[in-house]
Each structure stands twice: as structure tokens, then as C-alpha cells.
Structure 1
Amino acid sequence: MSTFVIRPEINNASAGDYERLHDAMYTRRIYKVIKLDDGSWRDLPTGTYRAELDDVKPQDVFNIAIAALNSIGKYNTDYRRDYELIVFMASGSYSDLPFNTDKSKRPPGS
């Protein structure tokens, strides 16, 4: 299983854009929390997501994130840029993040 960090930025976002993006990402198994090696769940910084997926490359996760953005009406074309996006694979992490107490942000069954 590979861990990916995803950071979208919606240009000229409305109040509800990020909530809709969060829901779209969640349905694609991309979450706003991370489970550390000690077993604790932590909230990621605002606008940051992570995914743990089998048999995928960063380009695959990039395409999944684009599909989530497109599903809320955000597109990049030659004439319009609705978002910025970076995806990278993480091999390990250390953090000083707050503990996650909202279990609804976690993957199902965790």
C-alpha cells in the first residue's frame, strides 16, 4: 500500500467549494486525516489530504483528485484555471498535528 499527500487549491473558491470537495474526495478514499506509526489519528493542515491505495502511481491519484475537482464544477483549460494541484508519494512522516477527534473524517471502519 502506498501513501499519497494531495494538496488542491481552488482559485476564487466560494464558501461551499471546499466542503463539496471534501465530500468528493472522501467518496474517492482521500481523507483529511492521517494515521501515524503510533496508531493515533491526526488532522491534516487545512486543504491537505492523504490517500492510502494499492497498486497506484502518483499520476493515478492525481487523476482521481482531478475527477473530484471536476465533480464539483472545477476545471482547468487553456482559458481558465479553477484550481492548482500537487500529489506526491510519502514514504514516512513525522508531525506535530492535532489529534483527530472527529471520526467522520476517518476512513470507514477505522
Structure 2
Amino acid sequence: MAMSLGAAEHLDPGRADSLVADLCSLSDVVLFSAAIPGQTGSDHRNEQWPHYWRDRFGRCRPLPRGSLVRLLAEPDRVTRTDTRPGTAKPPSVHGVRTGASYRD
């Protein structure tokens, strides 16, 4: 498994396609996350919505049709919660906590 967790947003946008190609060349399974627009952080250069990355990974190889891919393709299905200290609750997807097993 190749992983890139919270690193892609720190690279220049011109590096996005080659980063995805590098990850795809390393493994048939890739675990990836990156900051979305407006997410706070230091030195973010390329905050993008999930579809931006999904489209790039789709150029490397066909995407599986699993639950996680549907979450990436349909981010409006994720319910956001208050994230102030002391009030944060895990986001949910159709009432199922993302920390728990996701069922179709």
C-alpha cells in the first residue's frame, strides 16, 4: 500500500499529476488524503476538493466502486459537525460514524 496523508496540499499545484502517478506506480492500493479549500494549516499551496484528486487518480487506473470512492465522489453525503474544542463529534455518513464500519 502506498500512502500520502496530509502532504499533497503542501506541494505546488504543478506537482499534483506527478504525485498521483508516483503513488500509483508504487502500489495497486493507495491511501490518500489532502486538505480541502479553507482548511486551516501552515503553508498550504494546493487545497482541493476531493473530485480534483479523484479525477487524477482515475487517470492512473480505473477506480473501484467501493464505499470510500463514493464518499470521495459525493462529499455532500458527509455531515459536518462543530469542531470547536470540547464540541467535536465524528462526522457521519448517512448516520453511520466514519470511525465505524461503513455499510452500503
TM interval, shorter chain, is under 0.3
Higher-Rg structure is: 2
TM-score relative to the length of structure 1: 0.26
TM-score relative to the length of structure 2: 0.27
- Identify the structure with the greater strand proportion: 1
- Identify the structure with the greater helix proportion: 2
